[in-house]
């Protein structure tokens, strides 16, 4: 019996790129509402509109960047452009003297996320041997989430160290982004880049992605409809009397469980049918919703939040792996873009 191949070093590199980029983004994201409302006088409505427009941009750009990576036959240039743009606009946040400047920077940051998302996931699918594809997607997802945990914690420490100087902390957020781009620059193109493959973005063209992909996309949309934004976890904690000081721990607990479970779940999916593990993840989501609905104590509330993080670990990386499994290799970028658009719109409707 031949041993399973190791996860390629390039995927580890992509994992660290995701970790440092998310660390940088979450350092900014956690402080941005304070800068907007406190320093620049933006209303809650304005902050909500900025965030809504930013997330809508991500969904739209992902479709076209995934398609373009297929048409070019190369993933790295778009991945580098996406991460590079997100890093390049970070200095605009500490320099901002108006809501318009912050809005521009935030939208460009999200455009960068949209540009890199589908080509990066397609790149993982291209690079990972089928025997460890689940582990590869789980590893990248786990490292991404580790960055999302470390970012706010580092921001809290720096706020304490720098006497609540928000702009100084925002300057520090530039550094992890630069590290991510330098790592990505050293990442080589795959040895055998695929030939360009243009798929018409029409109903007939998308049908060439195959019935298995279409069924998975519908399933992903239904799964997203059963979820809601993590912001509602924060609201639930507030309703149940969690002190304001401890409210950030809601997302920390959720993200830690997510990070700890994503890689083991991905690795396990390489040894058993992925759909069974996905079904377990959906069952955990139902259980999490029940516990959160019935929670009357902080302990029960945080059990529900931990279950929510576990469902994320059991579903997100596995769904991405299943897309890589069923989508035609030459149209993998387009497939990830279309799937992310459908799931994102469903999550928006659910929220």
More confident residue, 46 or 133: 133
Q: What is the distance between the alpha carbons of residues 78 and 72, in angstroms, rounded to a whole number?
A: 10
Q: What is the distance between the alpha carbons of residues 102 and 90, in angstroms, rounded to a whole number?
A: 10
Give the per-residue pLDDT at 287.
Answer: 92
Q: What is the distance between the alpha carbons of residues 134 and 130, in angstroms, rounded to a whole number?
A: 8
227 φ/ψ sector (left φ>0, alpha ψ -120 to 50, else beta): beta
What pLDDT digit, counting tens, does each position of 136-159 carry? Answer: 999 999 999 999 889 888 888 888
Q: What is the distance between the alpha carbons of residues 20 and 18, in angstroms, rounded to a whole number?
A: 6
Give the per-residue pLDDT at 311.
Answer: 92
Give the per-residue pLDDT at 257.
Answer: 93
Most confident of 36-50, 90-104, 199-213, 276-290: 276-290
Region of poorest pLDDT, from 28-37, 81-90, 227-236, 246-255: 227-236
- Cβ atoms within 10 Å of 16's Cβ, excluding its own: 17
Give the per-residue pLDDT at 175.
Answer: 95
Q: Which residue has the tokens 């069974």?
A: 276
Average pLDDT taken over every residue of the chain? 82
Label each residue of 53-98 as H, E or C. HHHHHHHHHHHHHHHHHHHHCCCHHHHHHHHHHHHHCCCHHHHCCC
Q: What is the distance between the alpha carbons of residues 30 and 129, in angstroms, rounded to a whole number?
A: 37
Give the per-residue pLDDT at 302.
Answer: 87
């Amino acid at each position: 019996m031949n041993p399973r191949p190791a996860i390629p070093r390039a995927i580890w590199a992509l994992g660290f790129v995701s970790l440092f980029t998310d660390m940088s983004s979450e350092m900014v994201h956690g402080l941005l509402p304070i800068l907007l409302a406190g320093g620049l006088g933006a209303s809650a409505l304005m902050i909500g509109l900025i965030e809504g427009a930013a997330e809508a941009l991500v969904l739209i750009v992902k479709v076209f960047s995934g398609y373009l990576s297929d048409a070019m036959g190369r993933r790295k240039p778009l991945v580098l452009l996406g991460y590079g743009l997100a890093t390049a606009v970070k200095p605009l946040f500490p320099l901002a003297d108006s809501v318009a400047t912050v809005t521009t920077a935030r939208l460009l940051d999200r455009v960068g996320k949209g540009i890199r998302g589908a080509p990066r996931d397609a790149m993982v699918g291209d690079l990972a041997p089928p025997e460890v594809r689940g582990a590869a997607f789980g590893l990248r997802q786990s490292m991404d989430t580790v960055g999302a945990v470390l970012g706010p914690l580092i921001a809290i420490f720096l706020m304490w160290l720098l006497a609540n100087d928000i702009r100084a902390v925002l300057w520090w957020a530039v550094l992890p982004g630069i590290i991510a781009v330098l790592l990505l620059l050293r990442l080589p193109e795959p040895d055998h880049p695929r030939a360009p493959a243009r798929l018409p973005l029409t109903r007939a063209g998308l049908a060439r992605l195959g019935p298995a992909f279409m069924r998975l996309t519908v399933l992903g949309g239904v799964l997203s409809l059963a979820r809601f934004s993590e912001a509602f976890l924060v609201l639930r904690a507030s309703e149940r009397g969690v002190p304001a000081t401890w409210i950030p721990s809601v997302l920390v607990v959720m993200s830690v469980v997510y990070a700890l479970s994503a890689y083991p779940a991905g690795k396990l999916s390489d040894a058993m049918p992925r759909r069974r593990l996905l079904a377990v993840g959906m069952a955990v989501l139902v259980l999490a919703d029940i516990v959160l609905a019935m929670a009357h104590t902080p302990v029960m509330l945080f059990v529900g939040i931990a279950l929510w993080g576990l469902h994320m670990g059991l579903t997100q990386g596995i769904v991405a792996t299943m897309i890589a499994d069923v989508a035609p290799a030459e149209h993998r970028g387009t497939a990830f873009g279309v799937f992310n658009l459908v799931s994102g719109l469903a999550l928006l409707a659910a929220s």
